[in-house]
Amino acid sequence: MIARPEGGPRVVVGVDDSAGARCALSWAIGEARLRRLPLLVAHAAPLPPHVSAAGQLGCGITEALRGSGAELIARLLAEVSDGPPDGVEMTALALVGEPGATLVRLAGDDDILVVGHGTRSPFSRLLRPSVRLHCARRARATLVCVRPPAFDTLLECLTARDESPEHVPDSRFRRLGRRLRLPL
């Protein structure tokens, strides 16, 4: 367990390279800023099955996974908030292990655990279990699942741009809206 400043609560967010994780990170930054809580951004990479079966942990794979996790966290922070967020005490961790179990271990009773909510196929769920469901079943912390914006929200944003002169009248989203019979 990571030591907390003054033993108080914190916001723990799990990230990966998905739209749901970007939205979860954005929400967690805002919540940490609003509540004046420290933020812990964590990426947990599962160990590849061939490595764990062969027992090859000493061959630099864990260091490579941690390095790529740290790069991912830095890239996501740059995309979401142009680097480390201002006004928020932040810690970033790149770990090796099953993501759901790692997040459950990191988040204490008084923490807020934030995860993204994505959509995956049943076959994908067989290969890689849902982190969100694992956390919902086992976490003691308050769990927040953040969904990416709905398609309707994206359409609203795009139609708000319709008044601008650089708007292309027959965009791909407008054609999709016509196909779905949405009023644009």
| pLDDT score, position 184 | 47
Q: Does 178 fall in a domain?
A: no
| pLDDT score, position 129 | 78
Average pLDDT of each block of 10 consecutive residues along the chain (184 residues)? 66 93 94 96 87 61 92 96 92 94 95 88 73 92 89 64 51 53 51
If one counts the domains in the chain, the total is 1
Q: Does 136 fall in a domain?
A: yes
Q: Does 161 fall in a domain?
A: no
pTM score, whole prediction: 0.75
Q: Does 54 fall in a domain?
A: yes
Whether the Cβ atoms of residue 13 and residue 28 lie closer than 8 Å to each other: yes
Q: Does 44 fall in a domain?
A: yes
87 contact partners, CB below 8 Å, separation of at least 6: 33
| Residue-number span of the structural domain to which 110 is assigned | 11-120+131-149
| pLDDT score, position 145 | 94
Q: Does 159 fall in a domain?
A: no
31: CATH = 3.40.50.620
CA distance to 117, 118, 145, per residue, from 11 (Å): 17, 20, 13
Q: Does 125 fall in a domain?
A: no
Q: Does 107 fall in a domain?
A: yes
Identify the CA nearest to 66 among candidates 39, 13, 109, 102: 102
